[in-house]
Chain A
């Protein structure tokens, strides 16, 4: 039981960072970012090179991961998504563009980083035992840093001027513009922060899971599951989705031999969406 709780907590914290980034972008520019997993992958590779190859401090790797992915996110928003969303009235156009950016990053990554799986040494080696359960110090570090980053993000969104602008934008784009919010700049900032969160999640988790150029799509799918559970565009919903998915995996894998776990998760998700398509904390009106 202890191991199930430990696994659930660690998985939930890891997933929270991924889900927060994608929900932030969704709430601000109403875009389901299919390239979220790819940004995660880019962040992981940045830490691999900075920390694993050049042997610089792990924190430096995280900073580089956040900066690079933030810049990619900002550029994507400014040069790809903003023009398309301005000129197109159909939502699926931006969605298809998001798929295109995902495929672009996948191909560039395979070219730039190669096909091999990469990994880095633990920042803190060793394993601690808690009431019969095992928790590697590295996973504890990831858990704590994830919680810290979630806290910082919530504080930023709640109490800073750009954060308030982002919330205003999420609630009503036109009203926010009328109230003097620079919509273009705030959209770009929101996309950059969402992308940086994906990059940070990748940078943290490369120490646990390693990374390869093809890892992006699987991460994106998990991110979609989490925001479908919690409610797209709601920060609290993303966190709740992460906890639900983390513990569903932990409990499921412990009780069932394997593949049935995700089968049940998907069946439960479909049934849940039939009953509550907006997710636990989402609103029916969007």
Chain B
């Protein structure tokens, strides 16, 4: 274990040091001789573009940092990292076309995305046919449970985060009753259902388990009025998109709701502040390694690179920063063969472990998921639970999925 951690730190230091030199000189420190290309398949346009664009920007930022350092070392060579995006437009048919383009036309064997259950389930056959590793941000268990073996969940699932957050609020804030509200679309409804099941197991009193709103809704006064009247201790916005969360929070508070508000999805503090202002205080959401209390120097540098790529920082990127890093690090450990042979990559996953480069204390970062999926098909990103305090995210607690 200690060897793995040492290697992880060395690679980070090499990357960061190289990036600093490259930034100073304005050109790559050491020229990469070969190219490794990774695909990003996600929602890159339309109302939900934020989901996929964050994946793309994260991958691009990581690639830029390594490229500036002269490339990423795999075996005896340094590889220039290239990111090729494909837009799903939140349409499963277009997602399949994008997956075919990336895997068959371009011959890529590593893809980050898609962003939703419907998209990920649609492209799974395409990925499996070409034995391509893909990292969806979708929670359907069948993607990750045998016989499936090519999908790796890129984040903490709502059904993993929910019980941990509810339990914390029960113990620390005296929460006894709960209501759920979700957008009327498959992913959010699934998260609502699983959240309610988890709350039931914790013996929370469920006042509303099936309240929904139209996916395109922007005014939530009428939707929230009946929920607020029931006075639950906690209202969970299941699977809520960053664009919708501030509107829901503001409406709930303006309706006089005094209880706790939370979600199991990642949010953006700037959007919360713009849309909900002081009403966002106390809102609990899942975050990444991007609060000052826990972020490493490497994460700070990544944040700056992300701002260069995307124009501004998005807190959701803190949860999606891991994908390309894990692909590269796993290939590096599995050897150059894994660049084209994903069986070598999969064989490495069980024992893979590095020091988490994004967190200050560098806790172990590995693949997990045996408990939920009977195999290690989830990136073991830490469960960072944030609360809005004084207009910014503060880390409430950090948990890990075993």
Residue from B181, B218, B225, B254 in contact with A254 in the complex, judged by beta carbons closer than 8 Å: B225
Residues of B within 8 A of A134 (CB): 254-256
A167 CB to nearest chain B CB (Å): 32
Residue from A11, A52, A259 in contact with B212 in the complex, judged by beta carbons closer than 8 Å: A259
A259, B268: Cβ atoms under 8 Å?
no
Report the nearest A residue to B257, measured CB to CB: A134
A139 vs B251: C-alpha distance when bound (angstroms): 11
Residues of B within 8 A of A252 (CB): 222
Tell me the residues in window 199-237 of chain B with beta carbons closer than 8 Å to chain A beta carbons: 208, 210-214, 216, 218-219, 221-223, 225-226
A68 CB to nearest chain B CB (Å): 21
A258, B246: Cβ atoms under 8 Å?
no
Most buried by A among B211, B213, B221, B255: B221
Residues of A within 8 A of B126 (CB): none
Residue from B47, B210, B247 in contact with A214 in the complex, judged by beta carbons closer than 8 Å: B47
A118 vs B247: C-alpha distance when bound (angstroms): 11
Residues of B within 8 A of A257 (CB): 208, 210-212, 226
Tell me the residues in window 227-279 of chain A with beta carbons closer than 8 Å to chain B beta carbons: 249-250, 252-254, 257-259, 262
Residue from A117, A213, A214, A249 in contact with B275 in the complex, judged by beta carbons closer than 8 Å: A117
Residues of B within 8 A of A110 (CB): 45, 49
B219, A208: Cβ atoms under 8 Å?
yes
A114 vs B45: C-alpha distance when bound (angstroms): 10
The yes or no answer to A215 lying at the interface (CB within 8 A) is yes
A156 vs B232: C-alpha distance when bound (angstroms): 49
Encode contact with A along B250-283: 1 for CB under 8 Å, 0 otherwise: 0000111000000000001011001111000000
A257 vs B208: C-alpha distance when bound (angstroms): 9
The yes or no answer to A172 lying at the interface (CB within 8 A) is no
Given A3-B225, A253-B225, A115 and B212 contact (CB-CB distance below 8 Å): no
Residues of A within 8 A of B45 (CB): 110
Residues of A within 8 A of B181 (CB): 258
Tell me if B's interface is mostly helix, strand, loop or mixed: mixed
Interface size on A, residues (CB 8 A): 43
Tell me the residues in window 97-124 of chain A with beta carbons closer than 8 Å to chain B beta carbons: 110, 114-122
B213, A136: Cβ atoms under 8 Å?
no
The yes or no answer to B243 lying at the interface (CB within 8 A) is yes
Residues of B within 8 A of A73 (CB): none
Given A14-B219, A52-B274, A210-B243, A127 and B210 contact (CB-CB distance below 8 Å): no
Residues of A within 8 A of B254 (CB): 127, 134, 136
A117, B271: Cβ atoms under 8 Å?
yes
Report the nearest A residue to B226, measured CB to CB: A254
The yes or no answer to A209 lying at the interface (CB within 8 A) is yes
Residue from A119, A136, A249 in contact with B274 in the complex, judged by beta carbons closer than 8 Å: A119
The yes or no answer to B53 lying at the interface (CB within 8 A) is yes
Given A122-B277, A262-B214, A210 and B222 contact (CB-CB distance below 8 Å): no
The yes or no answer to B311 lying at the interface (CB within 8 A) is yes
B243, A117: Cβ atoms under 8 Å?
yes
Given A14-B219, A117-B243, A253 and B275 contact (CB-CB distance below 8 Å): no
A253 vs B242: C-alpha distance when bound (angstroms): 23
Residues of A within 8 A of B216 (CB): 217-218, 221
The yes or no answer to B160 lying at the interface (CB within 8 A) is no
B274, A253: Cβ atoms under 8 Å?
no
The yes or no answer to B7 lying at the interface (CB within 8 A) is no
A172 vs B213: C-alpha distance when bound (angstroms): 43
Given A120-B274, A134-B256, A215-B47, A209 and B218 contact (CB-CB distance below 8 Å): yes
The yes or no answer to A27 lying at the interface (CB within 8 A) is no
Residues of A within 8 A of B223 (CB): 253, 258
A212, B212: Cβ atoms under 8 Å?
no
A254, B50: Cβ atoms under 8 Å?
no
Tell me the residues in window 20-71 of chain B with beta carbons closer than 8 Å to chain A beta carbons: 45-50, 53
Report the nearest A residue to B47, measured CB to CB: A214
Residues of B within 8 A of A77 (CB): none
The yes or no answer to B131 lying at the interface (CB within 8 A) is no
Known interface pairs A210-B246, A221-B216; 4 further A-B residue pairs with C-beta atoms within 8 A, sorted by A's residue number: A116-B243, A116-B312, A117-B246, A254-B222
List 11 A–B pairs whose Cβ atoms lie within 8 Å, in order of A's numbering.
Answer: A3-B221, A7-B222, A117-B243, A119-B271, A127-B254, A136-B254, A209-B247, A213-B47, A253-B226, A254-B225, A257-B226
